[in-house]
Amino acid sequence: MMERADDIRRAEFPPAGFWRRWAGDAPPAKMPADDDSESARTQAEIASAAARAAQSDATEAPYRVMIVEDDPSQALFAESILNGAGMQAQVVPDPGLAIATLEVFQPDLVLMDLHMPSIDGTELTHMIRSHGAFAQTPIVFLTGDPDPERQFEVLELGADDFLTKPVRPRHLIAAVQNRIRRARQAQVPAPEGRHPLTGLLTRNRMLQRLAAGIPGDGSGALFFVELEGTAALRDRLGYAALESVLVEASRHIATLSDGQAAARLNDNTFLVHADTAPDDLLAWARQLRDGLARQEFSAGGETIRLRGRIGALALADGFNDAGSALAAAEHALRLARLDPIGIARYVASDARSADPSLDELVSHAIAEGRLELAYQPIVAVAGGNDPQFQTLLRLRDGDGTLHTAAEILPAAESTGVLEEIDRHVLDLAMSMLQQQRQRGRTLRLFVSQSPRSLGCDGYAPWLLAELGARELEGSQLVVDVRQDDALVHAVSLQEFCTAVQNSGVQLCLSGYRCGNESDALLAQLPLSHVRLSAHYSTGAAEQAVRDEMRDAIERAHRYGLQVIGQQVENPQAAATLWMSGIDYIQGNLVHGAGREVDFDFQHSVL
Q: How far is CA 144 from CA 148, 151, 163, in A?
A: 11, 10, 8
pLDDT tens digits, one per residue of 373-400: 999 999 998 777 789 999 999 998 888 8
Per domain, the residue ranges of the chain are 5-186, 203-351, 376-393+415-585
Question: What is the 3-state secondary structure of 226-274?
Answer: EECCHHHHHHHHCHHHHHHHHHHHHHHHHHHCCCCEEEEEECCEEEEEE
Please give the distance of CA 48 from its chain centroid, rounded to a whole number. Answer: 40
Contact of 155 with 163, CB cutoff 8 Å: no
Least confident among 22-26, 72-76, 188-192: 22-26
What pLDDT, on the 0 to 100 scale, is given for residue 82? Answer: 92
CATH of domain 376-393+415-585: 3.20.20.450
Rounded to whole angstroms, how far apart are CA atoms 507 and 494? 11
Residue 231 CA neighbour count, 13 Å, CB half? 6
Average pLDDT for residues 452-469, to the nearest whole number? 91
What pLDDT, on the 0 to 100 scale, is given for residue 518? Answer: 78
Rounded to whole angstroms, how far apart are CA atoms 11 and 24? 25
Closest listed residue to residue 138, CA positions, set 185, 199, 183? 183
pLDDT tens digits, one per residue of 169-222: 888 898 898 888 888 876 655 566 787 778 898 877 888 888 888 877 888 999
pLDDT tier at 3, thresholds 50, 70, 90:
very low
pLDDT tens digits, one per residue of 94-129: 888 888 888 888 899 999 888 887 787 878 887 887
pLDDT tens digits, one per residue of 332-355: 888 888 888 999 998 865 544 445
pLDDT tier at 2, thresholds 50, 70, 90:
very low
Tell the CATH topology of 5-186: Rossmann fold (3.40.50)
Whole-model pTM? 0.56
Q: Is the per-residue pLDDT at 325 higher than 70?
A: yes
Rounded to whole angstroms, how far apart are CA atoms 469 and 95? 55
CA 543-544-548 angle, 5° bins: 115
Closest listed residue to residue 234, CA positions, set 509, 514, 484? 514
Round the average pLDDT of the chain to a whole number and report it: 81
pLDDT tier at 57, thresholds 50, 70, 90:
very low
pLDDT tens digits, one per residue of 274-324: 998 888 999 999 999 999 999 998 876 788 899 999 999 999 887 877 877
CATH of domain 203-351: 3.30.70.270
